[in-house]
Amino acid sequence: MSESLRPRPGGSPARRDARVMTLAPSRWGTLALLPAALVAVLLFSVVCALPARAEPSRSGPVDPGTGFPAWLGDSEGLRLEPCFVGANCSAIVPDPSRPPSAPGNIGDRVVYWSASAEMTTRGGGRALLQLTKQGGFLPAAGPKDDARQVVSRIRIQVDNLVPGAAYKVTHPYGVETFLDVDGGRRSIDFTEDVGCIQAPCSEFAAGLNGRVDPWLAWDTLGAPAGGPPAGYVGDPAIPHEVTGSPFSDADGARQNYFEIEGPDVGGPGVDVVRTDLFRVEGKLAGLAAFADPKGGLHGGVRSVTLAASDPDAEIFYTTDGTEPTARSTPYEGPFDVASSTTLKFVALGEAGPAGDRPRSPVVTETYHVD
């Protein structure tokens, strides 16, 4: 069984002295009320028992530069690439002037998509909902090939609740009820991670499961005005209303919001706090092409494999330094580089209604062969 749930270090997905019930209408059913130390096991079992969806999540080919998928897709067909560089991306690349690569020029996380919402709770506390689909490296393993993972995460943290009371948290991917909570900071501290939990992680399929699907986007995505920045599904700097929750609440409204119900959650006599504003990050996947191995100094003949982020795209290449076009040599399989060579290649997608073909940036790899 490939799916796994990794509790946060030192605890279960909820505080150890609380009890939690998870509800996700029409898809997830109900978990019995049990000590939180057992919730990780139950959530793991529920994830593994889910029936197959009509259109499962997908991932693109692995980028040999980073070792992570070129894109991830949700069950609605939305494809997002790693958000490495730009004002609308939160991941840190040590040297933005060079392509991301691992090890060396990649941070500790690779963000494909994220959405977060915040509210104020009693006594000036904070309520935080974090939803992510991101890549990273297993703890203590570092950027090793077999330590890469993709994780689907739901995190809920709430401060300053009434000790011993019960609270219900509604969010786009379900409902959690927390019983007998602590007071003070992190009265609720819940994390559900679904993905590979122990190296070697031979594939990324485990992280494509979990409740976080399909992904939220600004509710103005695709609108003629007021939409997110071009090429993105949101802007993490701007809280905005969203769409995408697969669930409806008791009133028939989609759960595109973050709500907490319970005694004095918002202050004396305020038993409900709610927001429908989310900070959303996600970069629409463009067509890209890759070479494996990459250029550099190589000893002896090397076999070179080319790939595109869209498996249906065609790749054309040259080895004489000229720019590749649709009339250049079509890539049909791995080929040998036996002497120092400048390889240039481009991927062309299927033609659209107007006859135009999506085109990747031209990639240049220079091989120095001893």
In tens, the pLDDT along 20-62 reads 555 544 333 322 233 333 333 334 333 333 334 444 447 888 8
Per-residue confidence (pLDDT) for residue 264, from 0 to 100 = 98
Each residue's pLDDT tens digit, 199-235: 777 678 788 888 999 999 999 998 888 999 988 999 9
Whether residues 266 and 301 fall in one domain: no
287 touches 312 (CB < 8 A): no
Q: What was the pLDDT predicted at 37? A: 35
Domain boundary at 229, 261, 284, which? 284
Q: Provide the domain limits for residue 103.
A: 58-284
Q: Compute how many other C-beta atoms are within 10 angstroms of the C-beta atom of residue 222.
A: 10
d(CA 335, CA 93): 32
For range 176-182, the mean pLDDT: 96
pLDDT per residue as tens digits for the range 300-317: 899 999 988 888 899 999
Q: What is the DSSP letter of 45?
A: H
* 258 or 44, higher pLDDT: 258
Q: What pLDDT sits at residue 143? A: 58
pLDDT at 163 over 50: yes
Q: What pLDDT is attached to residue 246?
A: 95
Residues 187 and 335 in one domain: no
- Whole-prediction pTM value? 0.76
Peptide bond into 200 cis (omega under 30): yes
Asked, for residue 260, whether it belongs to a domain, the answer is yes
For 346-365, what is each residue's pLDDT tens digit? 999 988 777 788 898 899 99
Domain assignment of residue 45, yes or no: no
Residue 118 lies in a domain: yes
The more confident residue out of 77 and 330 is 330
pLDDT recorded at residue 64: 84
How far does CA 272 lie from the centroid of its chain? 30
What is the domain count for the chain? 2
User: Is residue 146 a part of any domain in this protein?
Assistant: yes
pLDDT of residue 354: 75
Look at residue 38 in the predicted model and tell me its pLDDT: 34
For the residues 68-88, what does the mean pLDDT come to? 87
Is 202 among the domain residues? yes
What integer pLDDT is reported at residue 66 of this predicted model?
86
Is residue 280 domain-shared with residue 350, that is, in the same domain? no
126 lies in the same domain as 205 = yes
* Higher per-residue confidence, 280 vs 8: 280
Q: Are residues 235 and 132 in the same domain?
A: yes
pLDDT of residue 155: 98
Residue whose C-alpha is closest to residue 337's, from 307, 314, 313, 306:
306
Does residue 18 surpass a pLDDT of 70?
no
- Give DSSP secondary structure letters for 90-146: ----S-TTS--BTTTB--SEEEEEEEEEEEEEGGGEEEEEEEEEEEEE-TTT-S-GG
Question: Mean per-residue pLDDT for 131-154?
Answer: 80
Tens of pLDDT, residues 184-202: 999 999 999 998 877 777 6
Domain co-membership, 198 together with 338: no
* Confidence (pLDDT) at 30: 29
Is the same domain home to 312 and 344?
yes
Is residue 129 included in any domain, yes or no? yes
Question: With 70 as the cut, is the pLDDT of residue 240 above it?
Answer: yes
List CB contacts of 35: < 8 A, sequence separation 6 or more.
19
Q: Same domain, yes or no, for 256 and 314?
A: no
**In a shared domain, residues 220 and 334:** no
DSSP code of residue 331: P
Q: Is residue 10 part of a domain?
A: no
Least confident of 23-32, 262-271, 328-337: 23-32
Select the more confidently predicted residue: 321 or 27: 321
**Does one domain contain both 248 and 299?**
no
Q: Which of 284, 317, 332 is the last residue of a domain?
A: 284
- pLDDT score of 47: 37
- Give the end of a domain, one of 284, 311, 345: 284
* Mean pLDDT, all residues of the chain: 82
- Give pLDDT, residue 144: 60
What pLDDT was estimated at residue 308?
Answer: 86
- Reported as a single tens digit per residue, the pLDDT across 83-138 is 987 778 887 788 877 878 877 788 778 899 999 999 999 999 999 999 999 988 88
Establish if 81 belongs to a structural domain: yes
- The mean pLDDT value for 255-282 works out to 98
SS3 content of the chain, % helix, strand, coil (to 5): 5, 40, 55
- Residue 109: how many CB atoms within 10 A of its CB? 16
Does 65 lie in the same domain as 91? Answer: yes
Q: Are residues 273 and 318 in the same domain?
A: no
